[in-house]
């Protein structure tokens, strides 16, 4: 499923695409509140916010919101292989950045709550050291990109995340942080052989080329965090706790900031004031408050 917010140069070589995507399916018999209801909610909130800003502020670049299914099967490559790459070839349009959001809701600040898959330390020694220094707490959002190719987009997201953190977490008892995984594309010959190969963003890696990436999380951060390591079926409404919702708030605001800058929206000059006005909406999740186990964030 695709939704497009067109820029003034849409369908021409002057346009730059900003792609925000999430898979909307989940594991069999798993409710999927986090994996990947959280990613879908983040994409929808980003689209709603940018549509609101577009009523007042101009924007140069086109934004595409994409939702995939069949995440673990070959057909989830269809958007890149059958839509995006032919479109880029036909129009000579370029890509300003890609954000793929997967598993954004689960926050666990207890020591040893974050596991890693076999081979992680060898492939990402710097990230493994950071995790060790943080006592393997699951209190971070994992950001993945390719060495050198994605540095500009990653820097924009990093700046956006820490701006959002500074604005939102002053009175919080925890401080979320970013764990960066940089893929060594000069030595990575195939993503199919690695434990993260079923993650949706791999379809963009398969495309190679000059697509700029800026991704949400690896699948391992979801499957190897907290109770989900032992109970995959616990991905239910009980995930909607106050810390988890606060965690999601920071991430979504960072995504919105990133999209505003990548799309070259005039709203970037007043983004702090605009987001302050937007926050009471709580991403449309207040209606879930009546569900047992749901402890949603309350804004002052």
Cα 42 from Cα 222, distance rounded (Å): 16
Q: Which pLDDT band holds residue 121 (cuts at 50, 70, 90)?
A: confident
Q: Is the pLDDT score of 89 beyond 70?
A: yes
Q: Residue 207: CB partners within 8 Å, gap ≥ 6?
A: 80, 81, 84, 85
Mean pLDDT over all residues of the chain?
79
Q: CB of 133 within 8 A of CB of 53?
A: no
Give pLDDT, residue 266: 94
- DSSP character for 31? -
Q: What is the mean pLDDT of residues 198-220?
A: 52
pLDDT band (50, 70, 90) for residue 221: low
Residue-wise burial string across 73-104, b where 16 or more C-beta atoms lie within 10 A, e elsewhere = eeebbebbeeebeeebeebebebbbbbbbbbb
Confidence check: pLDDT of 62 > 50: yes
- Measured distance CA(76)–CA(199) in Å, rounded: 10
pTM: 0.84
Name the CATH architecture for the domain at 2-274. 3-Layer(aba) Sandwich (3.40)
CA distance 290 to 297: 13
Q: What are phi and psi of 247, to 5 degrees?
A: -60, -45
Q: Report the candidate in 286, 233, 282, 226 with the shortest Cα–Cα distance to residue 253.
A: 282
Cis upstream peptide for 36 (omega within 30°): yes
Ramachandran angles phi, psi of 60, nearest 5°: -85, -40
- Got the DSSP string for 252-284? HHHHHHHHHHHTTBGGGGSHHHHHHHHGGGGGG
Long-range contacts of 268-274 (CB under 8 A, 24+ apart): 270/57, 272/163, 272/167, 274/53
Residue with the larger pLDDT of the pair 212 and 128 = 128
């Amino acid at each position: 499923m695709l939704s497009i917010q067109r820029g003034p140069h849409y369908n021409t070589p002057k346009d730059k695409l900003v792609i925000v995507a999430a898979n909307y399916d989940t594991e069999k018999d798993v409710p999927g509140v986090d994996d990947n209801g959280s990613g879908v909610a983040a994409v929808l909130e980003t689209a709603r916010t940018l549509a609101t800003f577009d009523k007042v502020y101009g924007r140069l670049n086109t934004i595409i919101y994409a939702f995939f299914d069949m995440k673990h099967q070959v057909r989830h490559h269809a958007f890149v292989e059958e839509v995006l790459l032919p479109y880029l070839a036909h129009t000579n349009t370029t890509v300003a950045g890609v954000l793929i959001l997967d598993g954004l809701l689960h926050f666990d600040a207890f020591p040893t709550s974050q596991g890693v898959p076999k081979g992680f330390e060898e492939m990402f020694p710097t990230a493994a050291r950071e995790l060790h220094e943080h006592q393997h707490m699951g209190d971070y959002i994992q950001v993945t990109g390719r060495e050198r190719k994605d540095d500009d987009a990653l820097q924009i997201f990093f700046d956006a995340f820490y701006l959002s953190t500074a604005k939102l977490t002053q009175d919080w008892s925890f401080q979320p942080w970013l764990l960066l995984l940089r893929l060594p594309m000069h030595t990575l010959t195939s993503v199919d052989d690695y434990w993260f190969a079923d993650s949706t963003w791999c379809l963009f890696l398969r495309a190679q080329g000059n697509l700029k990436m800026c991704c949400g999380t690896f699948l391992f951060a979801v499957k190897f965090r907290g109770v989900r390591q032992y109970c995959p079926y616990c991905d239910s409404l009980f995930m909607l706790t106050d810390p988890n919702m606060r965690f999601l708030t920071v991430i979504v605001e960072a995504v919105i900031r990133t999209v505003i800058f990548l799309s070259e929206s005039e709203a970037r000059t007043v983004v702090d004031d605009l987001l302050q006005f937007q926050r009471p909406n709580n991403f449309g999740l207040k209606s879930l408050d009546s569900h047992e186990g749901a402890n949603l964030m309350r804004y002052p």
